[in-house]
Each structure stands twice: as structure tokens, then as C-alpha cells.
Amino acid sequence: MGWEKELEELRAREVLAEKMGGEEKVARQHGQGKLDARERIKRLVDPGSFREIGKIAGKASYDSNLSLEDFAPSNFIFGRANINGRPVVASADDFTVRGGAADAALHRKFIQCEKMAHTMGLPLIRMIDGTGGGGSVKSLEDMGFTYVPVSPGWEDIVKNLETVPVVALALGPTAGMGAARTVASHYSIMVKGLSQVFAAGPVVAAQIGEELSKEALGGSGIHTRNGVVDEEVASEDEAFAVARRFLSYLPSSVDTLATRTACNDPTDRRDEKLISIVPREDKQVYSMRAVMEAVFDRGSVFEMGKRWGRAAITAFARLDGWPVAVLASDPSYLGGSWEALTSQKVKRFVEMAGQFRLPVVHLVDNPGFMIGLEAERSGTIRYGVEAMNVVYKATVPWASVIVRRAYGIAGSAMSNGERFQYRFAWPSGDWGSLPIAGGLEAAYKSEIAAADDPAAKLEEIKARLNAVTSPFRTAEKFNVEDIIDPRDTRPLLCEFAGLAWGKLGVRRQISQP
């Protein structure tokens, strides 16, 4: 006699688990415009690749004969899957089972999911919907006691941040532990109008006199602009797509290297628009994103954190198929000046590039740290120096292209100036301790005042200084290494990428995304 009876019971339990919170609650989830947990996993990962772990874990009830009568699964689903052919750990909160509250959670299951990622060296994707196993006031009466707060598995969350790429998708109201798990990631995503993130929700906020809707308190319009969350998308399917793309640039863990993809974009491509993209008038702006599209492999630029810290663009891209981390100034916002949020964004991004050993390309147009009362109130200089420190501590290969301005302390944070400079400057380069326009009249105040025609004297001084500040004068002293035709930027950076990845120990490694 075999074990057919037991296998029959196993199948019956699996069928019950697939019902999640039951037909009514699943319908309610769908009625709110949200996918259920199982459908989310199905749409995120490669077809047929998901192998669930702990599927029949939950709360069972038995009849008088001790036979299984009913079964309610836990509110957390996880397992091994593939994304773009690479193994990952995929997880999803099931809000249909007690709304994600603690009394429906099996903490060991959540902890094992987190442990699996860093133990096996696999990227982790969390799809978060609810408190994520947080507390429930109602459960206190059932337990008969309260407890000193503890966050089960947080040590493993920290370990994952140190070792593997972690992506968090907030796919509904996420409060408490759910919000914390969203933020404890390398890349986080919210769906506009569907996701909210808060330390405590509107009911709790009302206790301090703030009567707000979920969206007004913690919608994506707030958190993708203050740096809490990286990306705002229009739908869950878009969230899955950007999560997959983010992971395509990164290695599976800090113990491996990212992979090169096949490239059909010629390395010697020279885009003609680059010769005139930077205006001669220094107060006119241009699109740094257009520069990026012209320089990197076509279609390869993937920006993260677009809505916050906007004076700096942080993105991944490819050069001849090699993945690189891109840091670029955005002259269309605050002239490219680093303020507090921008500095925090730069710090976080450069740290991530170093952690996962991605070469950095820095496209520079930085007039300095932001000035003024608000800049002082927000601690710009402190956060700016922290960003500069991270740049100076970076050990990955680094190339800088001075597109236009590089002034002051922030300008000097283009790279570690004490090391070998893999650096190019465009003829539009303009640099120094401070812009001439900011100190000219003060420096030459007496000479201008003594002139018969002060306005003419001012223009004469400007002409003299413009000659002195020519980038060619700097190159004469080898204070800048090479001034290049902007159209040569792509070929030169492709050369850098090949050398950089050779330094990292990869010679010919090509995979299909």
C-alpha cells in the first residue's frame, strides 16, 4: 500500500490554500482595482517558474473525528522563481487573509523568505499590501496580554540590504511594518492612486487632529517626491515591468557580477546633436537626458528616483552592453545645484553602485551647493559633504565627463580628485572655485568705480577673464586631462566600460536580458 491517501490530503490542502481569503474577500480585493497575491506573483515572474514554499502553512480546523474540516492559509506567499531567466525569491502579502494583520501571519514563514534571499544569494522581491504582519489591537484581547515591541526577522532584512538586490512594491495601503519593509529596499515602487505608505494610517493620525484620507496622508504624490519611495507608476503591471528591468542591471548578489547583454548599437556612433546641445549663454538650460540618450546604448537608460532630489539624475544604462551606474546633473532644476535632497539621493545611489560593483559614469554640470535661507535650514552643507565623502570613498571604476559647469565644493565632488582621473571635458566646460559672475563686481569694485565709463570697464574686465577661463588654458596646465569633441563621448565611454569591466574581472560575458 502506498501513500496515495496522504497525497490526496496534500492536494486538498493545496486547493484550499489557493482560495486565499475566500471568494468574497478575493472579490473585494479585485473590486478595489487590485490584483490578488497569486496573480501578482504570476505576472511578475517568468511563466511557470514559481515554486511555492510553505503553501499549506496556515490555520486548520478539524471535525469531531479529527479530520480536516477547513483551512485558512497564512497571509504571506513566497517561493523561488525566475525573472529574465535568473533565479529570485518572490513574495507577496495576501491582504484577503485578515487584511495582513499579525494574527493571520506565520512569522517563521516571513523570516525564512528573508533568510532564503541572503543565504542563497538571490534577489528578493517583496509585494507589500497591508501592515505586512504588523500588530492588531483586536488581537490583544485574544492573546490576553501585550508585549514589548519586536520586529521578527529584521536582522535578515538588514542582511539582505547588505548582500542582495531588494525590490519592494507597495501595492495597497502599507502601514507600520509594511511601510518599513517597503523602505528597507534598494528600489521601491508605488502605484498612483492605489498605494499609500505611512508610519500609521488615517485612523491613528486622527488622534492627533489630522483628518486625512489615505491618499492625502501617504500617497505616491508625497513619497516619490520626498525620497521615501523611488518610483511612481500607473498600474500594477507597470510596477512589475520596472521591477524586472531594475534587476536586469544588477548582479544576483554582492558575491557575483552583473552581466553584459548583446548590443547592436555601434560603439563608434557619434551623435551630431551633441556639438550644439549645450547653449553658449550660460543661463540657458538644455536636456541632460537627451545627452544620456545620445551617449549610452539606445534604449538602455533606466532612471530611478526621477521625482525627488531632482538636480541629480540617477540611472542605470549600458555601454556596448556593459551595465554602468550613471550620475548626471540636471541643469533644468535649480540649475543643477545640489540641495539637501539631491545630496541624499547622490549618496544613496553611489553607495549602491559600489555595493554591487557597477562602474560609474558622471556627467557633470554642477554650479555648486544650493545657497539661500532654505538651503541652510535644510542642512544642505551637511548632506552635501556626506555625498562628497561617498564619492571620495568609491572604489569602483569611475569616469567623469564635464559637460558644462563644475564650481566649488560640490563641483569637486565629480570624482575623487586624489586618484587617477578618467575624465573628459567638453569645450563648453566652465569651472573654478566660484562663477565669475558671482564675484566679479565685488573683486573689481574699486577699479570699476574709478573708471570714466564703469559699464565699459566691467565689459573689458569680463573679456579679460573670459580669456583666462578658457578650458584650453586649464588643459595647458594638465589640470583637466582631455578636452574632446562632444560627439566622441560615446566611443570614449564605451572604451572606458570595457576597461572598467576588465578591471572588475570580466572579459567576455554576454547574456540575453
Nearest 5 degrees, angle CA 215-CA 220-CA 224? Answer: 150
Q: What pLDDT score was predicted for residue 467? A: 67
**Average pLDDT score over residue span 130-135:** 61
Task: Please say if the pLDDT value at position 366 is more than 80.
Answer: yes
The owner of cell 508610519 is: 199
Q: Is the pLDDT of residue 94 over 80?
A: yes
Closest CA to 91 of 156, 137, 28: 156
pLDDT at 70: 81
- pLDDT score of 433: 66
- Express each pLDDT in 40-82 by its tens digit: 999 999 999 999 999 999 888 888 788 788 888 999 999 999 9
Pinpoint the residues of the chain covered by CATH 3.90.226.10: 4-248, 261-435+470-511
Return phi, psi of residue 162, to 5°: -85, -20
pLDDT at 506: 66
For range 103-118, the mean pLDDT: 85
DSSP characters over 332-361: TSGGG-B-HHHHHHHHHHHHHHHHTT--EE
Q: Could you report the per-residue pLDDT of 171-191, keeping only the tens digit for each?
A: 999 988 899 999 999 999 999
Confidence at 212, pLDDT banded by 50, 70, 90: confident
In order of 40, 67, 76, 79, 465, the CA distances from 58 in angstroms are: 20, 16, 10, 16, 76
- Percent above pLDDT 70 for the chain: 88
Average pLDDT over residues 305-317: 97
| Pairing verdict, β 58-62 and 302-304 | unpaired
Q: Is the pLDDT of residue 300 over 60?
A: yes
Q: How far is 478 from 246, CA to CA, in rounded Å?
A: 39
CA distance 121 to 253: 5
Say what the pLDDT of residue 52 is: 97
Instruction: For the chain, give the percent of residues with pLDDT over 90.
Output: 68
Q: What is the mean pLDDT of residues 463-486?
A: 84
The string of pLDDT tens digits covering residues 498-510 is: 999 999 986 555 5
| Position 445, amino acid | K
Residue 204 to residue 200: CA distance in whole angstroms: 6
Please determine, for residue 324, whether its predicted confidence score (pLDDT) is greater than 90: yes
Pairing of strands 166-175, 196-198: parallel
8 Å CB contact between 60 and 14: no
Question: For the residues 140-154, what does the mean pLDDT come to?
Answer: 72
Round to whole Å and give the CA distance between 389 and 415. 10
| pLDDT (0 to 100) of residue 1 | 75
Where does the pLDDT of residue 262 fall: very low under 50, low under 70, confident under 90, or very high at 90 and above?
A: very high
Q: Answer whether residue 449 shows pLDDT above 80.
A: no
Q: How far apart are CA 270 and CA 146, in angstroms?
A: 67
Crossing angle, helix 236-248 and helix 37-44, to 10 degrees?
40
What is the pLDDT at residue 434? 60
**In the structure grid, which three cell numbers stand for residue 164, read together?**
542582495
pLDDT, tens digit (0-9, with 9 covering 90-100), for 15-25: 999 999 899 99
Band of residue 454 on the pLDDT scale cut at 50, 70, 90: confident
Q: What is the CATH number of domain 261-435+470-511?
A: 3.90.226.10
CATH superfamily of 4-248: 2-enoyl-CoA Hydratase; Chain A, domain 1 (3.90.226.10)
pLDDT at 356 over 60: yes
Q: Residue 104: pLDDT above 80?
A: no
Complete DSSP assignment for 225-260? TTTS-SEEESSHHHHHHHHHHHHHTS-SSTTS---E
Confidence check: pLDDT of 147 > 70: no
The three cell numbers of residue 185 are: 529596499
CA distance 76 to 55: 9
How much is the pLDDT for 294? 98
Q: State the pLDDT at residue 329.
A: 97
Position 478 confidence tier, pLDDT thresholds 50, 70, 90: confident
Q: Are 21 and 37 in contact (CB under 8 A)?
A: no
Do 338 and 356 contact (CB within 8 A), yes or no?
Answer: no
Triad 482, 412, 346: Cα angle to 5°: 110
Mean pLDDT of the chain: 89
Cβ distance 397 to 423 under 8 Å?
no
pLDDT tens readout for residues 434-444: 665 555 556 66
**C-alpha cell at position 309:** 532630489
**pLDDT confidence of residue 283:** 84
Which is it for the CA torsion 295, 299, 302, 306, positive or negative?
positive
Round to whole Å and give the CA distance between 408 and 394.
20
More reliable by pLDDT, 212 or 491 = 491
- Quick one: average pLDDT of 155-171? 97
Give the cell for residue 330.
Answer: 540636471
Gap between the Cα atoms of 344 and 443, Å rounded: 34
Quick one: average pLDDT of 138-158? 76
Range with the poorest average pLDDT among 148-152, 173-177, 367-371: 148-152
pLDDT number for residue 176: 87
